[in-house]
Structure 1
Amino acid sequence: MAGMSQRPSISNEATVPTSRPPRLGLRENAAQFALLVAVNALVGGMVGQQQTVLPLLAQDEFGLTGYTFIFTYVAAFGITKAAANWFAGTFSDRFGRKPVLLVGWLFAIPVPLMLILAPNWGWVVAANVLLGINQGLTWSTTVVMKIDLVGPARRGMAMGLNEAAGYGAVAVTSLLAGYLAEQYGLRPAPFLLGIAYTALALLLSGVFIRETRGHARLEAGQHTPRADGIHDHLHADLTDRQIFVQTSLTEPALSAASQAGLVNNLNFGLSWGLFPLLFATADLPVAQIGLLFALYPGVWGAGQLITGALSDRIGRKHLITAGMTTQAAALAVIAASNGFTGWAAGTVLLGAGTAMVYPTLLAVIGDVAHPAWRGRAVGVYRVWRDLGYAVGAVLGGIVADLVGLDAAVWAAAGISAVSAAVVAVRMYETHRRPSRTSSSAGSVG
């Protein structure tokens, strides 16, 4: 990848002027943190506007019937979002967080208009390429900015709030888009939400959000090595290539988190394209399909308000292992069911399992990555995680075409069980609780 030999260092860059010196902590940065939570809710809403509607649009307006072909828009979204995550991490370390956030929202402007006007499926795929860039740049950047603000002691809580806002908005917007589609048709009403979200996000990001790189510099100057020496090989001055290799393959906690993240979004990508079609086999109305689809990210989003903070108290590893196992069980319930009740129970359980894992994996990255290359580590992790969208869409489409919808869900259940085993064997506990360490716990030396 271009630029992997670069060594941008937080400590060597000019500090952005602010009205007061930066301080770490959730309470100390409550106003900015709340604004970032609101912006990330708008990021999630951009996905929610289309999740219920596009699979039905593919069948009803474009006459698409092959599952693999229908899932192309999910694959296009996942691949471009994964690539955008890399650039979000690299550019946020090099140029600052706020410019990346603003550029990400500029890519969102054409998306709802393209979906409204699309004369063929190619327009839908192209819109999801732009949406993937928007999501990768904006969501990754809000993650890094929140980690910057809160410091090491509250990372789990910060990620829980961030992901709860994002996926809660996915759920609410999916439900609202389903209602609008049933009342007013598949186009244009559901996609008017995206126009409003983009305008509000540009206002908040451009006028009210402040740069947070100074907070990362502050933490970098305060961190101390772990007493057990487990991170002695991870120092501040790593190249982009070294960061990529450590996060992807060689560092046990980072690489275990990366594979678990990929499987999480494999499940999400498969559900995005497949669940509405599976639920439609029972001749459920659009609004009820929208409710079923909203249950998964709804429980996922709300649950993270608890699980993120819980990981700060009990640690990361066992919560992740339990969450991956719960997802496997939930997918088995969905595959074995054939009506609203069973599918509702399965999607609620799937949301609960994902809530255990999603913010906790991000907290693991924050625990292990040095503040000087945190943005890039988050970016690499999210490259692998969001490739799961494409893997889930393609795998789900192929298996559904060859064997059936239920078989595709069973396959995802098996993959989730294997992922849980990998975390149990490979990941070590990354969180040092504040009661046992100094205020800089969780940073690497």
Structure 2
Amino acid sequence: MVGIERSILPALAQEEFHLAERTAILSFIAVFGVTKAVANYFAGRFSDRWGRKPVLVAGWLVALPTPFLIMAAPSWEWVVAANVFLGISQGLTWSTAVIMKIDLAGARNRGLAMGINEFAGYFAVALAALATGWIAATYALRPEPFYLGVAFAMTGLLLSIIAVRETSGHASLEAEDRQANGSPVGTPGAREVFGRVTWNDPNLASVTQAGLVNNLNDGMAWGLFPLLFAAAGHGLAAIGALAALYPGVWGLGQLLTGALSDKIGRKWLIASGMWVQAAGIALTAVATGGAGFAAGAVLLGAGTAMVYPTLLAAIGDVAHPSWRASAVGVYRLWRDLGYAFGAILGGVVADHLGLRGAVALVAALTFISGTIVALRMQETLRRK
């Protein structure tokens, strides 16, 4: 669903709705980020209270209007409204999918499970971006590319209803095992969990700020990279291919990096991954042609693959099973607010300093985030 938007919504904003200011173009990402962030938080709380599967099914029901709203949109405000539905859906479905896989995998294979999970999502983003770029170049920006969205939403809903089983019992069993092994008992309240994940616990807080900055640069890449590629003279098909390269490397790489974090630990994979991201974004800021853009996308994808599943695995390492879903919800609240911050910051800076100036600023922020992890975070992987 997100991949459909990555290659063509910025072009749709310029060509069909005649938006010129980057801040206005990126408004759909800001709205998506805020609604997804809030939905993430409630997905965690609801999953702890009512179970995982009902939240997952509800999320796919909310997804259904999204492609129809964009296909029928008479104004840009309809596209923004469609991203409210998409953000809520993503928050409920993706948070619940993550929580369920953490439930099922157990401590030993948590990084591997997160790598497989994130591979599935972001390789699909790459394929959808590539497909919609080709469809838009062959037919039109609307409605043909969004037929895929209808199929995706219906498939996700049916699979969730028919094939998925509740997993909260696995978390309860893990909590009992920890209690039997002397782990502290007691479930903190919502305010305490929020404080721990946001700032009080140095490990959880380091993970949270890295997640926020990761999605800040992803929001910038989503909104500004297609405009940067177009300004360099690339057509829709080429933009779709370049937009697919970054999440493609990201998705495939996570099959290796998630399992690697189970072997070597979380901290330095996260810190170095943020630095590799920064290098890829900086290269994109100074590149002038397709080869430079492609190299920047590969570096950004590789760095994100190092970071993304490892952050979730680290949350699972630290948070007790009795409040882990809530911790994941708070982490993903802050992480996906990064989309909004990236869209707003990228749009404002691009309108004043140009596209390349905005991209360079985000590269600097990403490097600083990796340094915070290196200085504040301790290793969270428990080795027997």
Shorter-chain-normalised TM-score: which range? over 0.9
Residue 285 of structure 1: how far off its partner (Å): 1.2
Q: 1:290 — aligned with what?
A: 240
Shift of 1:236: 3.1
Show the 5 A alignment for 1:65-76.
65-76=20-31
**Displacement of 1:235 after TM fit?**
4.8
> Of the candidates 118, 133, 155, which is equivalent to residue 200 of structure 1?
155
Query: In 1, Cα distance between the equivalents of 2:280 and 2:256?
Result: 20
Matched, 1:345 2:295: yes
Q: Which residue of 2 aligns with 1:35?
A: none
Once the two structures are superposed, the pairs formed by residues 114-263 of structure 1 within 5 Å of their partners are 114-223=69-178, 235-263=185-213
Aligned twin of 2:18: 63
- 1:38 counterpart residue number: none
Report if aligned partners of 2:179, 2:185 keep a CA contact under 8 Å in 1.
no
Report the secondary structure of 1:297's partner residue. Answer: helix
Counterpart residue identity of residue 264, structure 2: I
Contact 1:85 1:136 in 2 (8 A): yes
Identity %: 59
Choose 1 or 2 for highest CA Rg.
Answer: 1
C-alpha separation in 2, matches of 1:378 and 1:311: 18
Counterpart CA distance in 2 for 1:124 and 1:249 is 35
CA distance in 2, matches of 1:208, 1:352: 32
CA distance in 1 between partners of 2:180 and 2:145 (Å): 51
Question: d(CA) in 1 for partners of 2:83 and 2:136?
Answer: 19
Q: Could you say which residue in structure 2 is the equivalent of 1:403? A: 353
SS of residue paired to 2:108: helix
Letter in 1 for 2:42: F
Q: CA–CA distance in 2 between the matches of 1:405 and 1:201? A: 36
Task: Name the SS of the counterpart of 1:107 in structure 2.
Answer: helix
Taking the aligned partners of 1:123 and 1:211, their CA distance within structure 2 comes to: 35
Match of 1:40 in 2: none
Q: Is contact 1:85-1:383 (8 Å) kept?
A: yes
Alpha carbons 1:150, 1:158 under 8 Å: kept: yes
Q: Quick check: 1:425 aligned with 2:375?
A: yes
Distance of 1:297 and 1:236 partners within structure 2: 39
2:59 to 104, 111, 127: 104
Aligned partner (choices 308, 321, 336) of residue 371 of structure 1: 321
Judge conservation of contact 2:17–2:76 (CA < 8 Å) in 1. yes
Which residue of the partner structure matches residue 380 of structure 1? 330
Aligned to 2:277: 327
RMSD, matched Cα: 1.2
- For structure 2, the 5+ residue unaligned runs are none
Please state whether the residue corresponding to 2:278 is helix, strand or coil: helix
TM-score (norm 2): 0.98
**When the two structures are aligned, how many residues end up with a matched partner?**
384
Runs of 4 or more consecutive aligned structure 1 residues displaced over 2 Å after TM superposition? 224-227
Q: Distance in 1 between matches of 2:112 and 2:64?
A: 31
More helix by share: 2
Contact 2:219 2:340 in 1 (8 A): yes
| Residues in 1 aligned to 2:83 and 2:212: alpha-carbon distance in whole angstroms | 19
Aligned partners of 1:209, 1:226: CA distance in 2, in Å? 31
**Per-residue Cα deviation, 1:206-233 (whole angstroms, up to 9, x for no partner):** 0110000000111011116999xxxx8x
Is 1:52–2:2 an aligned residue pair? Answer: no
Do the aligned partners of 1:319 and 1:356 also contact (CA within 8 Å) in 2? Answer: yes
The answer on 1:79 being equivalent to 2:34 is yes
Q: Deviations over 1:292-349 (max 9, x none)?
A: 1101100000000000000000000010011011011111100111110100000010
